[in-house]
Structure 1
Amino acid sequence: MYLFKGILVFFFFLTVVSADIFTFGAVLAAFCSAAYEKLFCRDSECCTDRWISTNFKGLKQTLNDKLYGQHLVADIIVNQLKGHITNQPQSALVFSFHGSTGTGKTYSTKLLVDNMYKKGMQSKYVHLISATKDYNNDSEIAYYKDKLKKFIEARVKECRRSLFIFEEKDKMPAGILDILRHYLDNYEKVGEVDYRQTTFIFISNTAENDIFTKTLEHWKNNLANPRESITFKEMEQIIKLSMFLTAAVKHNIVTILFFAGGLWHSDLIKHDLITAYVPFLPLERQHVRQCIKQGLIRKGFYKSIDEIKHGLVEEIASEFVYIPEDIQLFVVNGCKRVDQKIDLIMY
């Protein structure tokens, strides 16, 4: 009997000691982690709130103030971003930016990144992938898929809040982006890594002609209503239709051609993994004037907009090409060459 009681006491003692050791180890680990973050992450970038955070109000204000002629963009980006960050996300956040050159797709991406990441585009957690530079050979698709898969897995393993920017996505060989499906879908983990806090931005000119046509039609048919009355819903439908298919009539036969630039036949479309299709409308002369004024200040010619004479702005604006030819409404390539046009007149 005494032996049995002794054994029970011994095992009770071991349980208490083991629990204490476990608790002490957990406390020690938490302390070391906090100390590491406080000391090392104070000056060196880490995947923490100190280096990655979002000022939603500030981002919306910045987009509205600095992105001209794009009344839909700020609300779409900020609302989706806020919903993704403030709630427990079920999947990665995926933006697909569409529109012609110079309308603000890359610029708005930079504004978004600068707001989220303390080091902006220089952050080691922000990754720019260029289709024409990194994935430009149609015969290397298998190699590209493996390369992209390993790259994304390594970067997200390092930081779940990584951001990937795919530039000129429409020029990427068909099928490469299919490997992203499992990272963007509603999986808690893929290979022991959680991708639900990751953000992906696809930038392309896909649907630019359809966006242009719709905006022009709106101007012709609704002269009493500003372009700001164009809704996200109608533009989203146009982009999706352009992404999915186009009808071509050849020899009196309607042929359905599936296409979407780099997303051609992509699992991302078939499984509806794009969070938001963001339309960038063609810019008008009034928007180019705004870009010119900001460019003159940025380049140091003036200190404030009030100092800039209207005649100078019009002289620079006249150097751009406008379409359609009969009404000269939209500027070709938007604000992309503003700096060059300013230099042409100012020097």
Structure 2
Amino acid sequence: MASSDSASSSGRDDVADRTTDTERAVHGTESVAELRAFLNSYACEHLASPIRKVRFRAGRIDAVWGVDLDDGRSVVIKGHRAPVDHEAADATDAIAAARDAQRVLAAAGFPCPEPLSGPDKFGGRVLTVETLLAGAVPDGRDPANRRLLAAGLARHIDLLRARPDLLQRVGAGPSWCQYQAGPWPVPHDSIVNFDVTPAGYDWLDAYARRASDRILTCRDGAEVVVGHADWYAGNAAVHEGVLVGTFDWELVADTEAVIAGFAAACYAASSTSGGGLSSPDEATAFLQDYEAARGVGLTGGERRTASAAAAWIVAFNARWELAMSTGRGEEGPNLSLLREHGQHYLDLTW
């Protein structure tokens, strides 16, 4: 998890502002009024209703607008960014697979938005629209919310086992899930470059390779499942102690232990809990909650896999942070976290 579509929203219906960096990257316009007109045309064609009000604008990877329509519906329209890695699997098919997964989950009563249209190729862009679910972003560091997130992860992975056809369509997921070629994948955003590691940080390359090698060794032969690729508090909503919304459904096909390890490393990050990746103790607590929700403990090999997957996510975020901060002369919190606790992440025990 290096970024999220649920962060950074304006919360006002203002068409005089300049578009955000994400909106310009996706839609290629600096005018909010022009973008609203484009999305209004899309809504009229695919939802049979114009936009009445813009509730919020958000997104760091894809451009997300929450809107009220004239017909009374509240929906989320997402403009999807073209993949940086043009040799990757068909991004539109991966989006379609995620939409199919959401339909399965919504039909089972799982708290995720119901897809209404898309992926649609409209005006040279790829758009989707889904129902808008309301709720407060939880403090992931609250143990009760941590348990909700662990249970939600276990439940949706189990529900999606009913759709084995999704495995090939989903593939390796976004770049922060792609440890297989170690140490670094092609980043999901061209604003960073992982090709050359700054002097003095060879240890970070070596650590990421060690984590990825351990995942590959420990997960060998395990069942591959489908799960949310960015499962953390910032992509969730809670109301009165109940998980009522889960968002930004990018999927990854991997083993259950790997997906749980990914989530363990970042589940607590959100604007309400001060952001930040999990400490080793927090990651361990999440994995314990995950086992409890699952009803069956992870095997020794699965625990080692989950631990290495958590280490990989911390390493990826540290590498992203390094790429963004080159030349500033100071380390960010993820690099510091890895320097202090790197071995502990690799050796989580419970």
TM bracket (short chain): under 0.3
Select the structure with the greater relative contact order (CA < 8 A; seq sep ≥ 6): 1
| Higher alpha-carbon Rg | 1
Which TM-score applies when normalising by structure 2?
0.26
Larger fraction in helix? 1
